[in-house]
Amino acid sequence: METEYNKKNSGQALSSSELERNKINVRAIISCPTCGYIKKFKNHFAREELELMVVAVKVFDWMVCSTCGELLKLDLEFSI
């Protein structure tokens, strides 16, 4: 019996339902607690590319407000 792991590694394309299950949707909300600035971003990552999400979150986590210079608050919403 062929497993999902063997199918992916043998070069066979994944079906659309398998691709949907393999995707992590992320919504980042960046806000300034001092001046009220708010910005929302959406992106999706494949489970195999989780390192890309970690890098993006680390970059967002150290952003400062261009208006007042305060460290921005980062909230993440995941849909797995």
Spatial distance between the Cα atoms of 48 and 73, rounded to a whole number of angstroms: 27
| Structural domain containing residue 31 | 15-79
In a domain, 60, yes or no: yes
**Chain centroid to CA 27: how far?**
7
Count, residues in the chain: 80
What is the pLDDT at residue 10? Answer: 53
Q: Which of 7-16, 41-50, 61-70 has the lowest mean pLDDT?
A: 7-16
- Token code pair at residue 27: 């919504």
Q: What single DSSP character describes residue 71?
A: B
**Total tally of structural domains belonging to the chain:** 1
Per-residue pLDDT tens over the stretch 27-51: 989 999 999 999 999 988 888 888 8
In a domain, 9, yes or no: no
